[in-house]
Amino acid sequence: MFRKWIAAAAAACMLAACSTEKPLLAPDAPAASMPAAMCYMDTVVPHLRTDLKYAGSDNFVGRPIRGYTGRRAILGRGTAACVARAARILAAQGYGILVWDAYRPTSAMQDFFEWAKTPDCRMKREFYPNLTKRQIYEGRYIGTLSEHSMGIAVDVTLYRLRDGREVDMGGRHDLLDPASALDSPLVTPRQRANRRILHDAMLAAGMKGYDKEWWHYYQPGNGPFNLYGFPLNDRLPQ
């Protein structure tokens, strides 16, 4: 139900990525404190490691994304509790969770939207080798709305607790390509099995996956949902 809701809400804006129209997004709102519904993931999730890709340049745009002024992952409290359950399941198997993205300010979605209208394709070979920018939106790899901006979605992978090394998942974060589908035949059986280890733990913890992106999980529900615009900050009072 939730995926149908957000897909329907985004459908009207999707093709605007190549037009001059503005997407309908909540405005940015500076925050002096953490909204009551949100928390820092590292205060809840055991063994958590964080590498927020949009806070740096290792992403499909190739620069820090608007609104990413901190490097601590923020998430809705209920969703963070689900991820914590998954982390405990995975720890028993020798794995920890590395988070690439969690709460995403609406300003970031606007930033993506504006980038899609520019000729800048310098990250194409690494992140979207087989797609045009328009196809990224048409294929729903990116939308003008996101569960991330509601604080109920995370992009995650696995690392090994014994040595800290990332598990081979057969692709990087935001590889916008058919090879990133959960059960893609374009990766090896071992890589698909590793994706399934993460998938099974997240589902057992109450999360739901997105078949096109093995790293993306969200907490399902029927709403209503709030879109948040406050920028990330590593020292927001809670």
Show which residues are catalytic. Answer: 213
**Three-state DSSP class for residue 100:** strand
Three-state helix/strand/coil letters over 189-238: HHHHHHHHHHHHHHHHCCCEEECCEEEEEECCCCCCCCCCCCCECCCCCC
In the numeric block, which tokens belong to residue 195?
A: 């994706």
Cβ neighbors of 79 (< 8 A, separation 6 or more) are: 151, 152, 153, 154, 207, 218, 219
d(CA 157, CA 96): 9
The Cβ-side half-sphere exposure at 8, using a 13 Å CA radius, reads 5
Question: What is the distance between the alpha carbons of residues 81 and 47, in angstroms, rounded to a whole number?
Answer: 14
Do 151 and 228 contact (CB within 8 A), yes or no?
A: yes
